[in-house]
């Protein structure tokens, strides 16, 4: 396994792979890897085959954090990440620095961003207004460095995956976007680097995101017609209220592709929610 730091060196390597006809699968991450990330790596390997190349990027992207969100506190452990990547059969870790990726930004000499204007408006975009501009910008830049044929994203960040798909389609990136299922702990909590911030009593209550989805699925599947959003929202609010450490940020019921809110919830729609558990903001979603 190689570690490549500079975008230029990554591009040179990617062009060489391309000239040799190798298939490249790419998993962008911000590091602090867990089993969820590794499932994306395995999916990338499955897609490119044993003779293909799997690249994982590890880069905590400053432009997707708001000034109020603590970028400096984002967990990092490169040594552990490298070990996990090696064990998972990753060929290359691409780990650029801020000065490589955003040279001149501090001095006002970096001014190009990629903005998706529709799917980013609600949900996470409403709670974190500058977040997706940072995500689309860095993912476009990473794509230009790694030149993958296929890139794998996790379904836990459903809106992010939809936004990336739209960007790839709108800007004609020749890349297939694959969305792999959310990996969960045995009690249903979606794996996330943020789970490590949860105190033991908060960790127990954090399952409310999963229990809310399960309850909504049950209610919708009991009914042969659509179920009203108000009724489902009230049920989720009540479940969250039973957990003293939890505070609902939002719950929405949306079309899975357009992310537009629906009035009446049926099978095939998606529940998307964000809940603060203590100080930690967790997101999750699921098919209904």
Q: Give 3-state DSSP helix, strand, coil % of the chain, rounded to 5.
A: 45, 20, 35
Length of the chain: 288
Rg over CA atoms, the chain: 20
Given phi > 0 = left and psi -120 to 50 = alpha, else beta, which region is 184?
beta
Nearer to ligand PAF, 160 or 183 (CB): 160
Nearer to ligand PAF, 30 or 275 (CB): 30
Asked if 245 is part of the footprint of ligand PAF (rule: CB under 6 A), the reply reads no
Annotation marks residue 131 as catalytic: no
Rounded Cα gap, residues 286 and 188, in angstroms:
12
Asked if 29 is part of the footprint of ligand PAF (rule: CB under 6 A), the reply reads yes
Nearer to ligand PAF, 101 or 220 (CB): 101
**Sole binder of ligand PAF in the list 138, 179, 243, 282 (CB under 6 A):** 138
Q: How many residues of this chain interact with ligand PAF, rule: CB under 6 A? A: 10
Asked if 31 is part of the footprint of ligand PAF (rule: CB under 6 A), the reply reads no
Closest CB 28 distance from ligand PAF, rounded Å: 4
| From 37, 42, 131, 269, the catalytic residue | 37
Asked if 28 is part of the footprint of ligand PAF (rule: CB under 6 A), the reply reads yes
The interface region with ligand PAF, picked from 4-12, 112-120, 134-142, 200-208 by CB under 6 A, is 134-142
Six token digits for residue 14? 């990617």
Asked if 213 is part of the footprint of ligand PAF (rule: CB under 6 A), the reply reads no
Closest CB 36 distance from ligand PAF, rounded Å: 10
Is 3:57 a contact under the CB 8 Å cutoff?
no
Rounded Cα gap, residues 108 and 167, in angstroms:
25
Is 236:212 a contact under the CB 8 Å cutoff?
yes
Closest CB 154 distance from ligand PAF, rounded Å: 7
Rounded Cα gap, residues 176 and 184, in angstroms:
25
Asked if 157 is part of the footprint of ligand PAF (rule: CB under 6 A), the reply reads yes
Six token digits for residue 113? 């961003």
Closest CB 173 distance from ligand PAF, rounded Å: 14
Rounded Cα gap, residues 61 and 231, in angstroms:
39
Nearer to ligand PAF, 81 or 157 (CB): 157
Rounded Cα gap, residues 230 and 45, in angstroms:
43
Nearer to ligand PAF, 59 or 253 (CB): 59
Site mask for ligand PAF (CB under 6 A), range 42-81, x = bound? -------------------x--x-----------------
Rounded Cα gap, residues 221 and 219, in angstroms:
6
Rounded Cα gap, residues 174 and 139, in angstroms:
14
Strands 280-287, 270-277: parallel, antiparallel or unpaired by DSSP? antiparallel
Nearer to ligand PAF, 140 or 229 (CB): 140
Active site residues: 37
What residue ranges bind ligand PAF (CB under 6 A)? 28-30, 61, 64, 135, 138-139, 157, 160
């Amino acid at each position: 396994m190689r570690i490549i730091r500079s975008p230029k060196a990554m591009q040179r390597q990617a062009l060489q792979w391309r000239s040799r006809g190798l298939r490249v699968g790419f998993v962008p991450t911000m590091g602090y890897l867990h089993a969820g990330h590794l499932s994306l790596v395995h999916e990338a390997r499955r897609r490119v085959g044993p003779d293909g190349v799997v690249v994982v990027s590890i880069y905590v992207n400053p432009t997707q954090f708001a000034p109020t969100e603590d970028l400096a506190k984002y967990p990092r452990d490169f040594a552990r990440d490298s070990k996990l990547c090696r064990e998972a059969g990753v060929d290359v870790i691409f780990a650029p620095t801020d000065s490589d990726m955003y040279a001149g930004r501090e001095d006002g000499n970096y001014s190009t961003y990629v903005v998706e204007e529709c799917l980013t408006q609600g949900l996470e975009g409403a709670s974190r207004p500058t977040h997706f501009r940072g995500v689309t910008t860095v993912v476009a830049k990473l794509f230009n460095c790694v030149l993958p044929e296929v890139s794998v994203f996790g379904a836990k960040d459903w809106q992010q995956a939809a936004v990336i798909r739209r960007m790839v389609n709108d800007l004609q990136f020749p890349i297939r976007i694959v969305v792999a299922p959310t990996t969960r702990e045995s009690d249903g909590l979606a794996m996330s680097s943020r789970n490590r911030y949860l105190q033991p009593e908060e960790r127990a209550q954090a399952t409310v995101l999963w229990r809310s989805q399960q309850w909504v699925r049950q209610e919708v599947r009991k009914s042969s017609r659509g179920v009203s959003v108000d009724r489902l929202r009230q049920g989720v609010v009540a479940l969250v209220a039973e957990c003293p450490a939890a505070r609902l940020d939002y719950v929405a019921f949306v079309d899975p592709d357009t992310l537009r809110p629906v009035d009446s919830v049926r099978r095939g729609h998606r529940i998307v929610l964000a809940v603060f558990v203590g100080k930690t903001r967790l997101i999750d979603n699921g098919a209904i």
